[in-house]
Structure 1
């Protein structure tokens, strides 16, 4: 026999629907419960008709009429006529006032989703058996579901007091029990009344803090959280609530509170973890790293510690630590390892270990990283000359992920573009554009391919259409302006377009590069170099390096030009634009 069900569990289950509260075979008040039909509309979870209950243990007064009406109701329930069965049981239960019939009528009303009948029957049951904990639980649950809070506080207080050993846990569960109510202020008022007799317990103040926070009563919530911590100074949940509230007005104040707590209680894992994450949020990476290192020593096999350490290492570009922790993470018992494998794939790809990267990406099977893993895998295969394999991978992924079709088509076009099959790539996107003529990403990518094929009118028409569809698209203005500047055409218009792009994205290194390049074309070499160096400092892109080298050469700074171009070529040996600049200026 199972142990007695706590009131919080019963009421929480009620929030999922009336029927689950009355689950079969569970012990309530120390007695096993009879089996009941579980699903709405007379059907079980698999869609099969719900089975009838076992014979009801009716009290004295069992008559042929009662038996007949019970059988009639159960047959109706079996045939999916839940509303008829519910009404039949309700009439019988109210007439006989038999506790077993009242309970069964409530179950059937729950199946029919007749909360009005459940409420009426539960109140009748309380009258018949005022000391029945089961009846009290049912009444409280349906009042919560119906958002009928008037008169509920005494009912909940009585139920809490009836189970003193479980009181702290039940107080902590009050907010979960009331989570679905949209009136958070009413919930706060109810919990305030329910907790009033129990304010000697920190759990009561914690419940008040959570309810007040949800209702927007931040100062009251903060006071309650601090009172909970005063009653139990080493209790982590109270400090975490306090820190969350402090963070709303001052992240620094929240961090100070968390730091003081872990100084006093060094083994407070959850608070230290929260502190480390708060430090990351404030970009205090070195401080966060120290907290994570302490956690890692104490909890080397805890995924909640290992994964943040790996992510923080990635943010700090500590690839050795990141890779070590991610490889450890995938050996742990966690439900989903796809994110870890994705980051491992990235690290292997950046480390020029393509086969290892492919192996990791193949392990990404769920979540948001599935499609990026396929795209990266295709790029690796393409770089290995496996063009057909890369395209098949992308095509299969598009079939399996139709909502990502455009993204995967663009990736397939990129495979063709990198192999210099520009016409085939453009044809691929044009076919999709025929079905989606206003799709922004298709317009942009096909315009860039048109530019590669010197089909300038097509490029211009698509970029201008994109600008019309998305007037705030900085990349569209930049692409059109740069295409003019690169060909030394319509330079005033090119500058105007790039200036607009800079207004929309002032720190984008590629737009800064475009602005520098148009200034160079207009003869303002000094200003051009300033912008190009700024862009190159933000992004060591090979084409930006080629522009920097050419402008340096034009200014007569030949050694600097050669050094810049040769260093860039060492990092990017296969880039055509950079190779041409090296050929012209650095040989």
Structure 2
């Protein structure tokens, strides 16, 4: 009944907007005049269109209302009715999204098949099918949808689709398998002049994911021979500079396995980043890459080149100041950061809309500006602490806005003080944090526990956590912290109990799964279960270097040395840390590659000469470092 009433109102409204013929005698005559068969057929068609459109509108609104009221299955039915009536691809797409929201992937595929039947040349239907199949991990079925989407798309849409292909396959577990599927549909477009650039670039990215580093570099070099499209594919970069970003990723990824490829990739990256018309953003990206691979002197030289060409580039001054601070070049760091503030003062406090109208990038730039201001103030506070001027340090922190960011800045300053050996001052900083709300108390307690644990004062840390958890027994962050404190105190049953509760409270968070899995692997206990836990964590966060390290370590414990090496090499590229270096070196040592293991251990020493796991590993392997190392290691930060 409700549906009929709304339909009747729609018809009434449609007729009310027609020309007011009934108000004139001519209008009366027109209404009463006999109608031809063609006119009557046209009337019926027009009336049917009104009915169809009104019904589709009702279905669309009803579907959205059901979704808003947490009934996506009913919403899906109504949206599909609307899509079938209108043959509108946007409504089919919305129905697919609702099915996925309701965790009904089979219904999503049914909607896509209807969409493809109704609109066989719509590339969006094929693209949706591709993404849903990848979501379901049915990777082998994606070749045909990909091929069809590429065939149906044209012009800018095809360029965009090709550019997005590596992103679609990014989270696939087996990237070599993904490359095998993508290669054949994509290959023809590498040879077509209008798509050669984006296709070669996409293939290079796919090959890099599959660790075919040499093939990736060849495709990058091929992209240099092609003409970039007019359509903007990058955010702040010109299309011609996009291969430089891939080359920088290749520098990092191939550094251990194929250093020659990494050097050739660097040659390409440097060429594009230092070209006469290079954007300042690509120059800064190259400097960041050099920092990530720990070539700080080269990074400072690159930043100098960028700042000579762009002296008003605030982000470059901030990055230079941070790097100088890391190298303990205190005076130079202060000068760079002061220059950062002078340049920032000349800018708008928060960047306005971009000229190209890209609202998302405007928001991103505004957030980056706020974040860089906060970091610069924190670094100036660190410099003041180095000068033994806590009053000035406090003034710099007072400049951090908003209040929540200032809270985080005080925590970060405490961590810096602790790393400088100023433990009492760091603890004093943490205990001075505001604690008016539960959230503020949780942050303060977590920061205090972290300091206490690092100082080996685990019993005090446990007391703080017990008191805080008694007030909020289901706080996952506090429970996780207590679980890790129990583990450090070698109370594994209590640690497992807390971590299991975190898993129940946060099933979509990888941390507890990874922590328990790694702890079991490190203890060489219940290894199949440990691998299952880490696999769950990896599925939730496939790009996490820490979780990749855990997977490598459990594979090592299971005796799968080659698989362990693969995961640990990925982890060391993603998150180069001393403990990961220790794990990778141990696997290489067992594989008989002792010279390479020694190189990795030396890299670990550069990262952290006091890491417990690294020093214990060197001692167990009988490896003598080239330089003297401390004899009193600090506690490990894992997991």
When the two structures are superposed, what TM-score results if normalisation uses the length of structure 2? 0.47
The counterpart of 2:374, out of the listed 330, 333, 338, is 338
- The aligned residue for residue 213 of structure 2 is 218
The counterpart of 1:236, out of the listed 215, 223, 241, is 241
The 5 Å alignment of 1:546-565 reads none
Q: CA deviation at 1:84?
A: 3.1
Question: Structure 2 vs 1, CA of residues 313 and 101 (structure 1 numbering), >3 Å: closer, same or farther?
Answer: closer
Residues 66-113 of structure 1: CA deviation (Å, up to 9, x unaligned)? 9789858855763534323434665x579xx54447864663453243
Q: CA deviation at 1:535?
A: 10
Is the CA contact (8 Å cut-off) linking 1:258 and 1:272 kept in structure 2?
no
- The aligned residue for residue 25 of structure 1 is none
The 5 Å alignment of 1:181-196 reads 181-196=172-187
| In structure 1, distance between residues paired with 2:443 and 2:311 | 39
1:107 aligns with 2:103: no
- The aligned residue for residue 400 of structure 1 is 440
- The aligned residue for residue 120 of structure 2 is 130
Residues 223-253 of structure 1: CA deviation (Å, up to 9, x unaligned)? 2222223446994332442453342435576
- The aligned residue for residue 391 of structure 2 is 355
- The aligned residue for residue 513 of structure 1 is none
Larger Rg: 1
The 5 Å alignment of 1:157-306 reads 157-160=150-153, 162=154, 164-200=155-191, 201-231=196-226, 235-245=240-250, 246-249=254-257, 254-255=262-263, 257-259=265-267, 262=270, 265-267=274-276, 268=278, 269=280, 272-280=283-291, 284-306=295-317
Question: Structure 2 vs 1, CA of residues 399 and 207 (structure 1 numbering), >3 Å: closer, same or farther?
Answer: closer
Residues 446-472 of structure 1: CA deviation (Å, up to 9, x unaligned)? xxxxxxxxxxxxxxxxxxxxxxxx99x
Q: CA deviation at 1:271?
A: 5.7
| In structure 2, distance between residues paired with 1:108 and 1:342 | 48
Question: Structure 2 vs 1, CA of residues 431 and 185 (structure 1 numbering), >3 Å: closer, same or farther?
Answer: closer
Partner SS state of residue 120, structure 2: coil
Residues 509-534 of structure 1: CA deviation (Å, up to 9, x unaligned)? 9xxxxxxxxxxxxxxxxxxxxxxxx9
Partner SS state of residue 249, structure 1: coil
- The aligned residue for residue 83 of structure 1 is 73
Residues 365-392 of structure 1: CA deviation (Å, up to 9, x unaligned)? 53864314357899xxx99x9x999955
- The aligned residue for residue 477 of structure 2 is none
Partner SS state of residue 247, structure 1: coil
Q: How many residues align?
A: 383
Q: CA deviation at 1:217?
A: 2.8
| In structure 2, distance between residues paired with 1:370 and 1:157 | 52
1:308 aligns with 2:305: no
Question: Structure 2 vs 1, CA of residues 412 and 220 (structure 1 numbering), >3 Å: closer, same or farther?
Answer: closer
Is the CA contact (8 Å cut-off) linking 1:375 and 1:394 kept in structure 2?
no
Q: CA deviation at 1:308?
A: 2.5
Is the CA contact (8 Å cut-off) linking 2:317 and 2:340 kept in structure 1?
yes
Question: Structure 2 vs 1, CA of residues 404 and 127 (structure 1 numbering), >3 Å: closer, same or farther?
Answer: same
Q: CA deviation at 1:149?
A: 0.6
Question: Structure 2 vs 1, CA of residues 368 and 253 (structure 1 numbering), >3 Å: closer, same or farther?
Answer: farther
| In structure 2, distance between residues paired with 1:404 and 1:377 | 16
| In structure 2, distance between residues paired with 1:199 and 1:266 | 25
Q: CA deviation at 1:134?
A: 5.7
Is the CA contact (8 Å cut-off) linking 1:307 and 1:325 kept in structure 2?
yes
| In structure 2, distance between residues paired with 1:406 and 1:257 | 43
Question: Unmatched 5+ residue regions in structure 2?
Answer: 1-44, 229-238, 345-349, 351-368, 468-481, 490-521, 524-607, 612-627, 633-639
| In structure 2, distance between residues paired with 1:388 and 1:280 | 32
Question: Structure 2 vs 1, CA of residues 389 and 166 (structure 1 numbering), >3 Å: closer, same or farther?
Answer: closer
| In structure 1, distance between residues paired with 2:286 and 2:62 | 60
Residues 158-185 of structure 1: CA deviation (Å, up to 9, x unaligned)? 233x2x2454444222222443444534
